[in-house]
Structure 1
Amino acid sequence: MRTALAISIILLLSLAAPAGARLGPLHAELIVRDSYRSGSGVLVRVEVLDNKGQVERGLWDAVATLSGDSPAVALSTNKVVLYNGLGSALVTFTGTGDFTLSANVNGMQASRQLSSLQGQPVTDVSGSLTGEATNWSGIIHVTDDLTVPLGHTLTVQPGTLVLIDGVASGNNGADINIAGDLQSLGTAAQPVTLTAFDPAYEWGRIDLDDAEPSSFRYTNITLAGHSPGSGHTGAGLVFYARNSNVAFDHCSITDHDGKIGAASGADLTFSHCHLARAVMGPEIGSTALMLEDTFITEMFGSDDNDAIYIHGQRSGQKVELRRGVVADTDDDGIDTLGSSILVEDFIIRDIYDKGVSVNAGGPIFLKNVLIVESGTGVAAKDGNTGGNPQVYIDNCTIVSTDTGRNPSDLGIHAYFKYATSGTIEYFVTNSIILAADPVESDFGDP
């Protein structure tokens, strides 16, 4: 019976300022590698920054128009869609010769010169690296699975283009297997790129298994995921971290047939990253996560297309998401299962199902979070193993809409799903909730 589960709601409402609402002197920034290979995709990232160098999240929707100054080079697209001041697109440049790429956003312009890599030498690699260290620069072609063994350091220099063999479909694309460590040292002026040798044949994944700490800075990882499936969606992974420490700084992980990644027993950091255009975002469990100033957008498909899915963590592990954006997904924004997380100063928007989904676990802390244009703002479920989910909502604004999902247009929802016993508790302070049903309980009136 539904009455086996109780719901408690403490609700205090007052005016809440939406996260990211600050417009001031702005300028555009174009993050793109300084060279191109004709016919290969180049990740073009456009940001609108304030006078402190922060992405202007108050710029809700915008489109950057791209152009080149050489008639000898054609662009596969001339548009980059921005969500809250940031967006990216995988652009194929076809032609010869150097050229200047420009991006214009609402009259703000940024430009970068790209040189042609035509005729540059290519180094083929595969198998297990030997010795204590390997240094990559120029153009690297990974022709089959590559292993960085324990005790070995692979360093990828700024501007390196790593082309990896893939397959048209299935899970046998070439992988990069790391037991030692990988240090990708891209810069804003010279990002590192890992992408498919042939854009029609996506590569496998980066596999970190009991690896030494690895880091990726200003690194664009595209056209991967033809690797063995795992977890939600069953899709292949772009990265898989097990009992490993991995840091991504100013990285873009975009345009994949699979999902962004998975982690177990790991320590992950994402700072100023963009995760976009995949089946779903990262799925993590027993893992510490610090995700800051990071955007997760455009996760599309037929099932479980969440921006991020967070299972329970181990004792002492923290999961914190700060100053970011989750936008435009075909399922949930932030999905949890038995975890305790903090989401602070965040925008969650244009979500087909639930902005935040809570399944058992907790407590879940939402502080200064704006959730808009979602079918349900926040839903807490009776867990499939019982449990007493607690959700603390402070200084948040939740505005739901009818997305066509059933149910839809709910503010906060006590969701009867598994028919288990327990208590669902919401603690709502200094917040606004606007929906057809601002407070919905499947267990009777709260």
Structure 2
Amino acid sequence: MSEVIGTRVEEDKVRKMRNLLNITRVFAALVFIASLALVISSIDSSVWNFQSFWYSLKFFVFIFEILFLLIGYGIAYMLGYDDSGAVALMDSFHSAVFGGGGTIMGVPIEDIILQPLEFFAQPNLFEPLYSFFIMIILFISLIAGLGFLRECNPALSAVSFFGMNIVLGLASLSGKLLIDLDFGGNITQMIFSKLVITAFLIYFSLELSFQASYVYNVIGPNIHRHRRISSNIKRIKEFKMPLERMRKEKPETDEESERMGIRGSKNTARARMTVSTAFSRIKGLVGKKLFRISLDEDWDKMNNRLKSYYEQLERDDPMIAVSLSASAYTPSLARLILIITTGTLFRMIALLLLSWLALNPIPILQFLNMPDSIVNSIEAGQPEMILMVLAPLTVLFLLVGLIVQFIQRRATRRMEAIAQRPIIHPVDEEKETERRRPRRRQRTPRTGQ
């Protein structure tokens, strides 16, 4: 009865752990999809033009053509051709190899060879490249996010996180970002601004992915171990020795003994062994022990012994199945949920507060008693001043992390030193007195001859 109760408790705990793992993965997936959709909606729709994609591919081909022409022009010039001859040679060579007219992207080849920098100075030349890289990086972020949902690898979620941030940066550089970058001094306005919400969701997806990876690394091995051990225990319990093999066990033993070279005789009680039978016996032993010729028979006997051994363990400890799965050593679900929620809330609140302080450096300048000429200046709200405030905060976090790491290492070394010390046990006075008391030699009586 206690065995059944223990098995039910174990199954219920494993089911709850599996549900918690699935909930964290689904929640992380929903936040990732929401952040990706918000990033896409924050970019101008003109970016999602596949003509720009093909234009960018052609642009890379044209770059290869330009490099090829410049190298050929240099070789022709070294061989003694003048400018006009080298240009004419490259023009004819370009028409023969690449086809088309004497222009690349509407620019004559002569102008490209003699003045290559003016080719890259054309207006709106790199705008399609922004669209190309935005689409490629977003596709990589999507693939990395889907890969994380499958494997719970935090490196894939980090790739997705940095990819979405790079996309926002490229959209801002190309002027395609539909988000206002101006902030007021009120923290409420900053919280409800679209840029902060987008950045918040991107970071929140990264945070949830790390938490889901933590839960997966803690709970996943326990679930797999429980499945493996439960299936093996079930197979051991349901194993039955074949009756035919049990009946043939003794005749096979006799045949094996005869094959190994032990032959009985009517006139002698001792078995004799010839050279051939000795060789066959050694061959049989080597084949059975090393190469497992009779594999089925050995596994059946092993399973039968293992079944008897497990039944004996089960009689001694009805909760042996729970002990073998080692689920008691994993943290409880309530503790896991508490760790996830408290850690996530603390980091999100700290991030929000530090973001407001970095984007509004004036309160910090006032707290540091800076002169009014600096606090009221126009430069106080510029990105340079924001970086001056943000850099010390970053260094402060690194310093705190180094201090915590130093304390942990010092405590670990101290615990290892304590563990390596010899253990001094208390000594019983009576036993110590008995040990120090000199022992008398016992004389053995002499026997008369």
- Answer whether TM exceeds 0.5 for this pair: no
TM-score, normalised via structure 2 length: 0.17
Q: Which has the higher strand share?
A: 1
Greater radius of gyration (CA) = 2
Which protein, 1 or 2, shows the higher relative CO under an 8 Å CA cutoff with sep ≥ 6? Answer: 2
* TM-score using structure 1 length: 0.17
